[in-house]
Structure 1
Amino acid sequence: MKHHMHRFRTRAVTTALALMFAANTAWAVDPFQVRDIRIEGLQRVEPGTVFASLPFRVGDTYSDEQGSAAIRSLFGLGLFTDVRIQVSGDVLVVVVEERPTVADVEFVGTKEFDKDALKKSMRDVGLTEGRPFDKALADRAEQELKRQYINRSLYGAEVVTTVTPIERNRVNLTFTITEGDPAKIKEIRIVGNKAFSESTLRNLFELDTGGWLSWYTKSDRYSRAKLNADIETLRSYYLTRGYLEFRVETTQVAISPDKQDIAITLNITEGERYVVSSVRLDGNYLGKDDEFKSLVTIKPGEAYNADRVAETTKAFRDNFGNFGFAFANVEARPEIDRSNNSVALLLVAEPSRRAYVRRINVVGNTRTRDEVIRREFRQFESSWYDGNKIRLSRDRVDRLGYFKEVNMETQEVPGIADQVDLQVGVEEKPTGSLQLGAGFSSAEKLALSFGIKQENAFGSGNYLGLDINTSKFNRTIVLNTVDPYFTTDGVSLSVDLFHRNSRPYNDQGGNYQLETTGAGLRFGVPFSEIDTVYFGGTVERTTIKPGTNIPAAYLAYGDKFGYTSYSFPLSIGWARDNRDSTLVPTTGRMQKLNAELGVAGDTRYLRSSYQYQQYIPLNKQYTLAFNGELGYGKGLSGRPFPVFKNFYSGGLGSVRGFEQGTLGPRDVTGSVIGGTKKVTLNAELLTPFPGAGNDRTLRMFGFVDVGNVYGEEQKFELSDMRASVGIGLSWISPVGPLRLAIANPVRKFAGDRIQKLQFQIGTSF
């Protein structure tokens, strides 16, 4: 501490002397009856706090032992730097000097941490505004700051504390921090491996010796927690390949004298590789042995696999839970035969007792209302414990997309053997997203789109979205809101308000416009946990405003049916979605089928579309994704399909490498007019980004896109399909998922408008 602490050291000496001579002070006074007690020196401490700590009251007989006890008791409060007891006749005067209080805590020189986070860590050690200050508290604060920096591999960080006394016996604390450079991992060694190469084992680790993306991943910064996680990954790698007796003997972490380089050495013993010889069941399986046997994924003749053993025991416990046995105990007991390097597994089960769910408690939702979470539950209070319904409830809450984590824990009810409570813990995450899009072309130069979406508006579970496109040729504003529980049975209500103003994609320019304004209402009825049927209606007004380079098809339609059309289409659709995530899916399938039927007004038509997505996990790092879309439109009652309802293709979301919406039929002027039939096929292989390890927020993908749009009189021809291949970058950025694609059209025709570089925030495929 600096010289500002000198006065506090002097007070500490005074305190020690007071304790040493307290007995002498009391010894010099003969016992007497106390007529009055006065306290002097208080500034902020309440007198009652002092009186409550004194071992005597007015009217008691005062002695030297009581005086010593009083001084010790007052010092024990931690509020005073000096305590004295003076005797004036039969009056006791307690003289105290309060410790200074902390007025402000400031940090200078910190870059690695946000100051608010450091202040929180200071509160955890008891150092905060308004609290009494002492040197021991400052020392603890320094140690806590150093510990925080060590956790970030900043071993050379230095902390200097400055104490500045101010008025009213207060102090300002300033922690001046010299962070230095972080220590980097220079070497990772694995000693004792025989079955697998050292490089193979090191590639399993999140920690590494650095690469060109280490500034982003920080994978070369040592962390004890990360090392422990890597050790568990290493252990799992061996245990899933038959090495039942694998162990890590020692873990050595050495740091260089300048605290800049770290070397990690793991000494391991692999043991022998064991093969499963047999799997047997023992215990009480509720008379359903065959049903439980069907859940066993461990196969005799294969190497011992700890993951499959864990999967099997978990499947057993889950199956017991389906019958209401919340406390089932399932244990896998290996019987090792070292002479033959084989192991026999005995699965022992004890279902214990059947249970009811007494109460469901929801914690962690600081923003989202309780009812938004509880209405997703399929396990109810005062009902039999059902493992399937509990897992389904957890998945439904997770699929809301409002939370980083959703955990469900079963807690026994004290004193009641057949009841449990469910503790549902959630961790909130931002549910608003900003969507930005941009593209470059010779026609539009720079086209921008903007959108704001709030998935959980005001914690109500309702969706609210605004989309704006400021393109030179396509201007759009759309307001959309969805109430997912318009009724208590889960029927959703969606309301749309929109205004669109489009112009042709034409290098020579044009000033005609296609203007559409309308409003829509749609209901969604859940028919199963993953199936929803939608139906609704829309009111639209579409105006064709003639101008230069207007497509002949638009003029022909306007001359025959009018340049302003009122439409009242009805819509019906179906959606099925069991993907594991809507943001970064790795497995599962999504399907959507929609049909729009113009039944009144100035138009008669059918417009339908179907979308299919499939995600296939190849392993922990690689995912194969497929997307297919079909569109079909047809005019009814002797009328043609409205040209302003045509499908468009090209660009992000369809066939990358071509300008947005430029595929398909064109007018003699070269203007794109879309078509009544649309086909899009996409395939992607998602891989780790080089240097980013297994970080799933930053990934690369290779893709193949095929598709086109066809006019009403055109036949579907494979020879007319456009195709492109390319690579891209997927990043879960702070403002939403960003996808950047560099595409090379491998099948194109004269007149096609190429755009090799495209990116968008908030889209997929």
Structure 2
Amino acid sequence: MTLNRLTLALAAVFAAQPVFAAEPFVVKDIRVEGIQRTEAGTVFSYLPVKVGDTMTDEKTEAAIKALYATGFFKDVRLEARDGVLIVSVAERPSIAKITLNGIKEFSQDDLKKGLKETGLAEGRVLDRSLLDKAEQELRRQYFNRGKYAVQITSTLTPLERNRVAVQFDVVEGKSAKIRQINVVGNHAFKEKQLLKEFKSTTPGWLTWYTKTDQYSKSRLAGDIEALRSFYLNRGYLEFNVDSTQVEISPDKQDIYITVNVTEGPQYKVSDVKLAGQTLVPEAELKKLITIKQGEVFARDRLTETTKKIGDRLGNDGYAFANVNAVPDLDKEKHTVAFTLFVDPGRRVYVQRVNVTGNTKTRDEVVRREVRQMEGAYYDADKINLSRDRLNRLGYFNEVNIETPAVEGTTDQVDVNINVTEKSTGSVMLGAGFSSSEGLVLSGSISQSNVFGTGNRLSAQINSGSVNKVYALSYTNPYYTIDGISLGYDVYRRDVDATALNSVSPYKTSTYGAGVRFGLPVSERDFLSLGLTYEQTSITLTSASPWPYQNFCGNAVGCDNDTVRLDTGWSRDTRDSYLFPTKGLLQRVAAEIGTPAGSLQYYKLTFQHQQYFPLSKRFTLMLNGEVGYGEGYGNNTNLPFYKNFYAGGSSSVRGFRNGTLGPKDINGDALGGNERIVGNAELFFPLPGVKDEQSLRMSAFFDAGATFGPFDVNGQYGTFAIGDLRYSAGLAILWVSPLGPLKFSLAEPLAKKSGDKTEMFQFTLGTVF
């Protein structure tokens, strides 16, 4: 071996050491040996030596380091032979296959995706350091699930063509359970009360599903912060978490958590002052201060105060207003005074309103709901109102609005609106079970955003044995640029009550056509006005009750026509169309049969529905509805087929649809001219389910009935508290990929003889 060859061979072995060549030489040619998968051009691209270069010890060292750094080779040698530089390499094996055995806790596809992110994937070059890293990543994933006894073994099996199979054998073991959580140092509150703030729990009857009895470092960090907030919201300004110990049993099955705290004294508020550049009259800002002198300090109320002041300044264009609360503690008297320093910053203008995410909905449909104008001062209230209006459209699963500063300016922002569209066309089915009717179905097809224009088109087709409905409806919500809506309705409705065992027998066949207008009075208030012509044929039977026969003047039937005037007012301040958490919905409506037709009557209805956010996860809904109707002119009573009904999934769950009210001699429902319904419903996420945007649960209490003059038992003649029916139960609403599904399981309360119950009710739909 020549001296040059020996020197280069040593350099390959001690690549990190300086290389000493006997003498430099000019490279006449470069030859690569030992490659199988790697292209020669790849080697040349990494090699810092070209033909014509003078080979020195520094370049030799740099060449070997560069080729090792590619990760493609496990051995690199350089030799010089008559001016030819020979690069001899031994390639690392490629990964032909990755096998995961014993995996039950995770999806294999998800784990392989995670391994790929660490650099370990089929087709890539094997790097043992990455193999160790992959093992650690798998172990970490199991630790996050509380499986601390997991055993992971990796095996490499050589294959032909310099390939290798990687196999991970996993023995998952059982999840470690939190057996005990102790809080040490608490005196003001009992440990049981403090542990209610923790999401981490010891094993319980539902923890097999929620997994909250499995230790998670991130969850415990959240629990510690929740504990801190608990104390700070009750005046313990000097509260401190001294330490947290997490101990695991020798068999790695049980975990014990100890939290050591120092409570400190409870502080009261001695004074609250405003300072800085308020810009807004101080008296107006003082009304926004929710933390009062003499009260026990509460951090959440202080945070609420600073946010309200910041939002108020934001309404005047000060988007970057900063309100800092500086405390002054008197440790002897255990009081604290706060000075709220207000720094409004610069007044900010909106440069651009940008809309993204709307692949089907036209830009103009989104922009016409936006109340923040380009070129105007930034207004936080108008931006929030824009978000609410977009949510109430029902076209989007999610609406996000961001206001980033415009680069290179100090007084301009953009308003970026990003929406996530959802399917707005649906085929809806309604279903209910009862012993007498079996399964009753109804259906409709609708598209609330036709071709992305925001116009609504719906067709209802019901071919059931009781109700046959064929209806077509079209609405343009922006018939004028000011937001006046225009709608048309054409329908035929046949009702065959003789097919029901629960409603007095009669048949009607109604044709109708109408036009309606909607007028926005304000951002939250809406007036409606409609005119409809109806023609109705009524068919009676010998079993029809006398009020029906009395209406027609015979036992056969009659025909009549109606020129109906519909008018109403509504106010909607809800923050979401599908899953509201706050706000109210009020409606007042009147349906009047005018003297232009043969029927003169009126029906008045009022609804008040309000949502109260009890916490981030719980929302209380209270709903009340009343209705009253009478005839006038030639009609002394409300036409019987215009009666109100109660009972069923839309009023009092647990009772059969329409059966709560006056009854005939056979016990069948007649309906009534008075109606009252009340609902209280507590909404909350389904335990263990993270997606709160499409699935939630509720516990409800319903009450209601209808009243009228024709009940044979005298039970529902006029309104009486004792005649109301009640029910309670649970419901689930799921906006599934197939459409909205609502299930309710109700237990009728205060049930009386003759009541017809229906414990399970649901509606379902599919989306197209």
Q: TM-score, length-normalised on structure 1?
A: 0.82
Secondary structure of the residue aligned to 1:136 is helix
How do residues 234-249 of structure 1 correspond to structure 2 at under 5 angstroms? Answer: 234-249=227-242
Q: Deviations over 1:400-430 (max 9, x none)?
A: 5566665544433343222233455667778
Q: Which whole-Å CA distance do the structure 1 matches of 2:331 and 2:727 have between them?
A: 53
Aligned counterpart for 1:609 among listed residues 602, 605, 610: 605
1:661 corresponds to: 658
Over 3 Å counting, the alpha-carbon distance change for 1:158 and 1:501 in structure 2 is farther
Is 1:672 aligned with 2:669?
yes
1:387 corresponds to: 380
2:244 corresponds to: 251
Q: Which moved more, 1:204-213 or 1:635-644?
A: 635-644
Over 3 Å counting, the alpha-carbon distance change for 1:331 and 1:213 in structure 2 is same
Secondary structure of the residue aligned to 2:351 is strand
Secondary structure of the residue aligned to 2:724 is strand
Over 3 Å counting, the alpha-carbon distance change for 1:646 and 1:656 in structure 2 is same
How do residues 78-477 of structure 1 correspond to structure 2 at under 5 angstroms? Answer: 78-87=71-80, 89-96=82-89, 98-101=91-94, 107-128=100-121, 130-161=123-154, 175-286=168-279, 288-361=281-354, 373-400=366-393, 406-424=399-417, 439-447=432-440, 473-474=466-467
Task: State the Cα distance separating 1:37 from its structure 2 match.
Answer: 3.7
Over 3 Å counting, the alpha-carbon distance change for 1:726 and 1:465 in structure 2 is same
Question: Which amino acid in 2 is paired with 1:746?
Answer: A
Q: Which whole-Å CA distance do the structure 1 matches of 2:576 and 2:638 have between them?
A: 37
> How much identity, in percent, do the aligned residues show?
46
Secondary structure of the residue aligned to 2:404 is strand
Question: Which amino acid in 1 is paired with 2:572?
Answer: D
Q: Which whole-Å CA distance do the structure 2 matches of 1:100 and 1:558 have between them?
A: 97
Q: Which moved more, 1:632-641 or 1:231-240?
A: 632-641
Secondary structure of the residue aligned to 1:411 is coil
The root-mean-square deviation of aligned C-alpha atoms, in Å, is: 4.6
1:706 corresponds to: 704
Q: Which moved more, 1:602-611 or 1:354-363?
A: 602-611
Q: Which whole-Å CA distance do the structure 2 matches of 1:494 and 1:170 have between them?
A: 70
Question: Which amino acid in 2 is paired with 1:729?
Answer: L
Is 1:528 aligned with 2:522?
yes
Q: Which whole-Å CA distance do the structure 1 matches of 2:87 and 2:510 have between them?
A: 86
Aligned pair count?
Answer: 746
Question: Which amino acid in 1 is paired with 2:761?
Answer: F
Over 3 Å counting, the alpha-carbon distance change for 1:168 and 1:472 in structure 2 is farther
Over 3 Å counting, the alpha-carbon distance change for 1:144 and 1:478 in structure 2 is farther
Is 1:743 aligned with 2:736?
no
1:723 corresponds to: 724
1:75 corresponds to: 68
Q: Which whole-Å CA distance do the structure 2 matches of 1:351 and 1:616 have between them?
A: 32
Task: State the Cα distance separating 1:87 from its structure 2 match.
Answer: 4.6
1:650 corresponds to: 647
Over 3 Å counting, the alpha-carbon distance change for 1:24 and 1:133 in structure 2 is closer
8 Å CA contact retained: 1:413, 1:421: yes
Q: Which moved more, 1:693-702 or 1:414-423?
A: 693-702
Q: Deviations over 1:105-141 (max 9, x none)?
A: 5655444434454344334323445544422223323
Aligned counterpart for 1:20 among listed residues 13, 16, 29: 13
Q: Which moved more, 1:19-28 or 1:699-708?
A: 19-28
Question: Which amino acid in 1 is paired with 2:409?
Answer: I
8 Å CA contact retained: 2:651, 2:702: no
How do residues 38-77 of structure 1 correspond to structure 2 at under 5 angstroms? Answer: 38-39=31-32, 48-77=41-70
8 Å CA contact retained: 2:653, 2:744: no
2:757 corresponds to: 755
Over 3 Å counting, the alpha-carbon distance change for 1:687 and 1:22 in structure 2 is closer
2:6 corresponds to: none
Q: Which whole-Å CA distance do the structure 2 matches of 1:240 and 1:335 have between them?
A: 17
Secondary structure of the residue aligned to 2:62 is helix
8 Å CA contact retained: 1:553, 1:667: no
Q: Deviations over 1:523-558 (max 9, x none)?
A: 544332222333456676766577785666667749
Secondary structure of the residue aligned to 1:682 is strand
Question: Which amino acid in 1 is paired with 2:568?
Answer: G
Q: Deviations over 1:555-602 (max 9, x none)?
A: 774979977777775544332122344445454321123344567888
Q: Which moved more, 1:484-493 or 1:17-26?
A: 17-26
Aligned counterpart for 1:588 among listed residues 575, 583, 589: 583
How do residues 559-574 of structure 1 correspond to structure 2 at under 5 angstroms? Answer: 569=564, 571-574=566-569
Q: Deviations over 1:71-96 (max 9, x none)?
A: 22122122334444455544445455
Question: Which amino acid in 2 is paired with 1:744?
Answer: P
Task: State the Cα distance separating 1:306 from its structure 2 match.
Answer: 0.9
Over 3 Å counting, the alpha-carbon distance change for 1:110 and 1:468 in structure 2 is farther
Secondary structure of the residue aligned to 1:195 is coil
Q: Which whole-Å CA distance do the structure 2 matches of 1:636 and 1:397 have between them?
A: 43
Task: State the Cα distance separating 1:267 from its structure 2 match.
Answer: 0.8
Q: Which whole-Å CA distance do the structure 1 matches of 2:259 and 2:735 have between them?
A: 37
Question: Which amino acid in 1 is paired with 2:723?
Answer: R
Over 3 Å counting, the alpha-carbon distance change for 1:39 and 1:660 in structure 2 is same
Q: Which whole-Å CA distance do the structure 2 matches of 1:570 and 1:59 have between them?
A: 98
Q: Which whole-Å CA distance do the structure 2 matches of 1:167 and 1:483 have between them?
A: 69
Over 3 Å counting, the alpha-carbon distance change for 1:679 and 1:320 in structure 2 is same
Over 3 Å counting, the alpha-carbon distance change for 1:458 and 1:718 in structure 2 is same
Q: Which whole-Å CA distance do the structure 2 matches of 1:517 and 1:723 have between them?
A: 35
Over 3 Å counting, the alpha-carbon distance change for 1:74 and 1:725 in structure 2 is same
Over 3 Å counting, the alpha-carbon distance change for 1:524 and 1:101 in structure 2 is farther
Q: Which moved more, 1:424-433 or 1:307-316?
A: 424-433
Question: Which amino acid in 1 is paired with 2:647?
Answer: G
2:3 corresponds to: none
Over 3 Å counting, the alpha-carbon distance change for 1:110 and 1:565 in structure 2 is farther
Q: Which whole-Å CA distance do the structure 2 matches of 1:375 and 1:123 have between them?
A: 46
Q: Which whole-Å CA distance do the structure 1 matches of 2:117 and 2:360 have between them?
A: 25
Over 3 Å counting, the alpha-carbon distance change for 1:26 and 1:353 in structure 2 is closer
Q: Deviations over 1:686-735 (max 9, x none)?
A: 38799989998766635251321436999961248732334311334464
Question: Which amino acid in 1 is paired with 2:750?
Answer: V
Q: Deviations over 1:284-315 (max 9, x none)?
A: 11262222222211211111111111111112
Q: Which moved more, 1:50-59 or 1:512-521?
A: 512-521
8 Å CA contact retained: 1:656, 1:724: no
Question: Which amino acid in 1 is paired with 2:762?
Answer: Q
Q: Which moved more, 1:588-597 or 1:614-623?
A: 614-623
8 Å CA contact retained: 1:649, 1:678: no
Q: Which whole-Å CA distance do the structure 2 matches of 1:455 and 1:598 have between them?
A: 30
Task: State the Cα distance separating 1:320 from its structure 2 match.
Answer: 1.8
8 Å CA contact retained: 2:560, 2:598: yes
Q: Which whole-Å CA distance do the structure 2 matches of 1:215 and 1:755 have between them?
A: 35
Q: Which whole-Å CA distance do the structure 2 matches of 1:257 and 1:477 have between them?
A: 71
Q: Structure 2: any 5+ residue segments left out of the alignment? A: 1-8
Q: Which whole-Å CA distance do the structure 1 matches of 2:233 and 2:502 have between them?
A: 65
Question: Which amino acid in 1 is paired with 2:245?
Answer: Q
Task: State the Cα distance separating 1:194 from its structure 2 match.
Answer: 0.7
Task: State the Cα distance separating 1:381 from its structure 2 match.
Answer: 3.0
